[in-house]
């Protein structure tokens, strides 16, 4: 029997590979702020298509489907018209109270639903946050995009009510000012949602206080009464005039209902509110980026 000689391979030469430890990044580490914004921009298509899909499936289990997006604020408007317009007579001095009330209710509903949804976005997607790596601000941004898309039929319904229910208001070019108003409203809602999303992610009890704060904001925004009631109280008038929600509603009423161009002062104040709140909200949310994974 012949012996078979097996030649063993020569041992591989071990070489030292230089590694720059300075370039290694900890998994889940918070990126620099500008890098964070770039990451969010890279996720823009996912944010949009996810928001659109959620709008389409949001009311699928209801028999009336997406009609509830319009029916809810309409029923709210009818309730406030009955209580404040007919019983409490807050409609005195307002020529077209129905249009006045509808614009107030519908525009406030847009902000209210966007803020509530944005504030709860981190808590409601906790498993997603802890299971995948992505810029967490994509969640409140996606929620606000979803609310914006869902409110398109609501805006159309608001304009139709102003056109159909007497005394009707004529269409004018100023109706186009709704576009920048809604854009500024979106920016403001997003900023507030980012701030509340971080707070509620750590202190869930704040969700119980949110409805009361929003209700107080509605009462201070002249939704169902005229600001002229406080003509003898200049301090209250100034405070209400600086209220961002009142500014949104007032600019919309001027453009759609009264057919006048809103003052530059109102535009400047609303732009300042939207810009500052978004900047503060984005930085405030980004600062806690790593804490969301830990829950």
Neighbour count for residue 11 (Cβ, 10 Å): 6
Indicate the pTM of the whole model.
0.84
pLDDT tens digits along 62-106: 555 666 667 777 777 777 778 776 776 766 778 888 889 889 988
Instruction: Quickly list H helices, the chain.
Output: 33-42, 44-58, 68-80, 97-119, 121-124, 126-131, 138-150, 152-164, 178-202, 206-219, 234-241, 244-252, 264-287, 291-294
pLDDT tens digits along 173-229: 999 999 999 999 999 999 999 999 999 988 888 888 999 999 999 988 988 888 877
pLDDT tier at 18 (50, 70, 90 boundaries)?
low
- Cβ atoms of 264 and 2 within 8 Å: the answer is no
Neighbour count for residue 64 (Cβ, 10 Å): 10
pLDDT tens digits along 124-181: 887 777 777 788 899 999 999 999 988 888 898 888 888 888 888 888 999 999 999 9
- What are the residue ranges spanned by the domains of the chain? 63-288
What pLDDT is recorded for position 204?
84
Instruction: State the average pLDDT over residues 98-121.
Output: 91
């Amino acid at each position: 029997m012949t012996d078979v000689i097996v030649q063993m391979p020569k041992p591989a030469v071990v070489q030292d590979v230089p590694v720059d430890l300075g370039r290694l990044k900890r998994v889940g580490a918070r990126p620099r702020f500008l890098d964070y914004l770039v990451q969010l921009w890279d996720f823009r298509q996912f944010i949009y298509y996810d928001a659109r899909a959620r709008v389409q499936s949001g009311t699928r289990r209801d028999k009336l489907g997406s009609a509830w997006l319009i029916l809810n604020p309409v029923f709210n408007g009818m309730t406030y018209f009955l209580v404040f317009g007919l019983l409490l007579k807050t409609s005195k001095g307002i020529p077209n109270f129905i249009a006045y009330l509808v614009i107030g209710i519908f525009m406030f509903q847009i902000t209210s639903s966007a803020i509530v949804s944005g504030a709860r976005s981190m808590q409601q997607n906790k498993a997603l946050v802890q299971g995948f790596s992505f810029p967490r601000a994509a969640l409140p941004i996606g929620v606000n995009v979803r609310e914006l898309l869902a409110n398109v039929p609501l805006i159309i319904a608001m304009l139709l009510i102003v056109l159909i229910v007497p005394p009707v208001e004529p269409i004018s070019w100023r109706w186009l000012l709704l576009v920048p108003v809604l854009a500024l409203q979106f920016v403001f809602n997003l900023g507030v949602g980012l701030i509340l999303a971080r707070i509620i992610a750590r202190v869930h009890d704040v969700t119980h206080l949110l409805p009361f704060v929003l209700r107080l904001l509605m009462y201070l925004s002249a939704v169902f009464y005229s600001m002229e009631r406080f003509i003898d109280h200049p301090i209250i008038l100034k405070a209400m005039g600086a209220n961002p929600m009142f500014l949104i509603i007032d600019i919309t009423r001027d453009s759609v209902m009264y057919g006048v161009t809103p003052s530059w002062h109102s535009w400047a104040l609303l732009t300042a509110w939207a810009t500052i709140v978004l900047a503060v909200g984005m930085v405030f949310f980004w600062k806690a980026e790593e804490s969301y994974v830990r829950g």
